[in-house]
Amino acid sequence: MSSRPIVCDTTILLYLGRIGQIGVLPAFFDPVWVPETVGLELDMGRLLRRDTLDPRDLSWATLVSVSQGMIDALPPNRLGPGELSVIAYAYAHPGCVAGLDDMQARRIAEAMGLTVAGTLGLLLRAKRTGLVPAVRPLMDAVVAEGFRVSPELYRVMLDLADEAL
């Protein structure tokens, strides 16, 4: 598998945790970094749902701080603090994958030359490497948890996974 580092935004940790697939992160990446702002966003999530993952409980995840200077160096945008921290940290650490699902955040990260990975791509990779038998039930599970997937993307993912619609 990959020994590249990844820095993860809230959505990846939240949804992989909710569907019991958080283990794909350390299977593919080392180290796994989580900005402190993402940790705080997940803390707030636990106020609404107790089963929200706490990255401090993951022995393979490391909380990292991101300076305001790193964030201020980013191009102007309207991203939230989690996405900003992920992009800034990944940019400051060459070779680091930016774990993002938000389309605007992904576009900005890619425009800055960063490699981006998202929840659905990680699930597809998990199937291709034999970690999971199928993508469809996992996509259905993240959608049931509130993850938004357009019908077109759903069909594309199933096609890429060689699974029937």
Q: Is residue 149 part of a domain?
A: no
pLDDT tens digits, one per residue of 31-42:
999 999 999 999
Q: How confident is the model at residue 2 (pLDDT cuts 50, 70, 90)?
A: low
pLDDT score of 3: 78
Give me the CATH number covering residue 24.
3.40.50.1010
In a domain, 103, yes or no: yes
Q: Which pLDDT does position 15 carry in this prediction?
A: 97
What confidence tens digit (pLDDT) does each residue in 12-23 have?
999 999 999 999
Number of folded domains in the chain?
1
Structural domain including 69 reads 6-132
For residue 6, report the phi and psi dihedrals to the nearest 5 degrees: -135, 145
What mean pLDDT value characterizes the chain? 95
pLDDT at 1 over 60: no
pLDDT digits (tens, 9 = 90+) for 117-158: 999 999 999 999 999 999 999 999 999 999 999 999 999 999
CB 122 within 8 A of CB 12: yes
Inter-helix orientation angle 10-18/119-128, to 10°: 50
Identify which of 114, 111, 112, 78 has the alpha carbon closest to the alpha carbon of residue 99.
Answer: 114
Identify whether 152 is part of a domain. no
Kindly state whether residue 111 falls inside one of the protein's structural domains.
yes
Local structure of 73: helix, strand or coil: coil
3-state percent helix, strand, coil for the chain, nearest multiple of 5: 50, 10, 40
Q: Tell me, what DSSP letter sits at residue 135?
A: S
Q: What percent of the chain has pLDDT over 70?
A: 99
DSSP 44-67: HHHHH-TTS--GGG-TTEEEE---
* Inside any domain, residue 158: no
Q: Where are the beta strands (DSSP E) in the chain?
A: 6-8, 32-35, 61-64, 97-99, 115-117
Query: Is 21 within a domain?
Result: yes
Q: 78 pLDDT band (50/70/90 cuts)?
A: very high
In a domain, 155, yes or no: no
Q: Which two tokens stand for residue 83?
A: 């996405």
Note the pTM of the prediction, 2 decimals.
0.94
Who's near 110: CB < 8 A, 6+ residues apart? Answer: 116
Question: From the CB of residue 103, how many other CB atoms can be counted at a distance below 10 Å?
Answer: 9
- Is 114 domain-assigned? yes
- Distance between CA atoms of 30 and 36, rounded to whole angstroms? 18
